[in-house]
Amino acid sequence: LGVGASVGVRSLASIPLLPPAVAEFVKGAVEECKPSGVHVVTGTPEETANILAGLEKEGMVKKLPQYDNCWLARTDPKDVARVESKTVIVTKNQRDTIPIPAGGVKSQLGSWMSESDWQKAREERFPGCMAGRTMYVIPFSMGPVGSTLSKYGVQVTDSPYVVASMGIMTRMGTPVLKKLAEGVEFVRCQHSLGRPLPLKAPLVNSWPCNPDKVLISHLPDTRQILSFGSGYGGNSLLGKKCFALRIASRIAKDEGWLAEHMLILGITNPQGVKRYVAAAFPSACGKTNLAMMKPALPGWKVECVGDDIAWMKFDSQGKLRAINPENGFFGVAPGTSNRTNPYAMATIAKNTMFTNVGETSDGGVWWEGLDPPAASVTLTDWHGKTWKPGSSTPCAHPNSRFCAPAAQCPIIDSQWESEEGVPIDAIIFGGRRPEGKVIMHDPFAMRPFFGYNFGDYLAHWLSMESRKAPTQLPKIFHVNWFRKDATTGAFLWPGFGENARVLEWIFKRCSREREDEAAKKSIIGWLPEDGTINTKGLSGKVDMGALFDVPTTFWQKETKELRAYFTQQVGGDLPAQVEAELKALENRVHNPY
């Protein structure tokens, strides 16, 4: 029997091509979940076409005739996003997962579940959960197959939608199985929609899920992920946030590297000099737009290595090298347009799975942020109901997605699949600090994705400087594209392609020969010296003074808030170096230069 064929459970032993450790994992999952058959995924185009045809037949996806091989899925309205409250890390000791918060408040830095509670939760969910369904076995690689920076996984799932999406988001199938046959370690990923056949209740939108029983659990000590009840990407494509951030951050801690929620881009100046930059932004702060930027500065070029996750490790020369462990983009659709991100629009024109976007009567897709369709075209919203502009509800769900192959991006970097990774010269941290709103702390843009105690995570970052290799540490920068005029509420900075002007300054600072080159000292670090941000050709009047204003009263409040956050959320696990930095910052904001 060849790998890729579907077999009944009784003939499972007749899949001789599964490596022993994989076979043992699959056998255990079969015994627990009781599927009616097993299909080992090969990743061939023919297999993908068959999977999509099956999904179409079941009513789970719909072909979009306006594009080449594009599909639309509409989910159950109760299954539309990551579910943080039901996403847990399971370790023996709570403090391995999260710092113990002060005063009995709830930790914002992760959710811990005890081993005994998890075992009980598993027994309430997984036994017999795949009855009547096929179990798909997906061997996959995070990163190029064979790269020293890559890691491997095997996911079992009863969702063909997951198989189709994993084929875009990861390197999947027979080449990975060959690698696993060499005996390499792999992360064991078990996923079920939690709707065994025959159904006890009808499906909504032909979308199987079990929202009342959703649980996404991670066992970092044994490198396992078990996800139940949700078909939505972030909960079911286990290579993404579950493996590439939560489990990988723990592997990275154990092995001395970094797994981060960061884009990676290459930027080339008019003289042909190229640098690579990684950047961490919380969700909805423009990561994909920056990763695929069309620079407003003539002669500058940005190329995309990845838009969401970076795995970074120092090489033998002490240079930080990064890979994008993913193979596709799983981007938020609303707000993506030819104005904000023309390259993303070009990327998603073929071979793309759209989920919960609007549909046009001429066989296309639509969402908020796109130009209104022609008058003759009618729109259907993500619920499958007729929709008209001006309706009180959105046409596309705010978290609707496109899932598209990275190789289709017109500006994909030539080194995006480099086995040794690209050399990182700078790391940018970004966020928003809106006045008058409750501050949302999202440290390193990793708050929902830490695989272990945040205090230990900080200590791990700080340890990079003292690694044995002659480390060339990248320069660190911080940006906030979202500052507003205090009186009008308008954004001070136009953003999008104009952000290239900030990257140009960062480029200069990476090449600097003296510390104050193109920069002036402030209470929060080095700011651009007046006139060093290139404003030539900048459309509209930009108040550079307001952009670089550092109000001491604001920063006094900010340091107070930071102190309270660290005390309450991190407590005794806060590294001494971070405490010292905070003290120094407090001193500067109360005694400015």
Residues marked active site are found at: 82, 232, 241, 261, 283, 285, 308, 401
Cβ atoms of 586 and 559 within 8 Å: the answer is: yes
Residue 277, both tokens:
């930059």
Residue with tokens 């198989």: 163
Question: How far is Cα of residue 14 from the mean position of the Cα atoms in its chain?
Answer: 37
In angstroms, the CA 296 to CA 342 distance is: 13
* Cβ-proximal residues to 134 (8 Å cutoff; 6+ apart), any chain: 6, 35, 36, 37, 38, 39, 158, 160
C-alpha to C-alpha distance for 324 and 328, rounded to whole angstroms: 10
Q: Which of 317, 325, 298, 338 is CA-nearest to residue 538?
A: 298
Work out the number of other CB atoms within 10 angstroms of the CB of residue 255: 11
Residues constituting the chain: 593
Residue 487 CB coordination number (10 Å): 6
Identity of the amino acid at 60: M
Going through 376-447 in order, the beta strands assigned E by DSSP cover 379-380, 386-387, 401-405, 422-430
SS3 label, residue 62 = strand
What are residue 97's phi and psi, to 5 degrees? Answer: -95, -45
User: What Å distances lie between residue 22 and 2, 52, 80, CA to CA?
Assistant: 16, 26, 31
Six token digits for residue 160: 């063909």
- Residue 315's nearest CA partner among 510, 506, 147, 508 is 147
What contacts 29, CB < 8 A, 6 or more positions away?
135, 156, 190
DSSP output for 521-544? EETTEEEEPTT-S--TT-SS---H
- How far apart are the C-alpha atoms of 13 and 83, rounded to whole Å? 37
Angle between helices 454-463 and 248-255 (to 10 degrees): 40
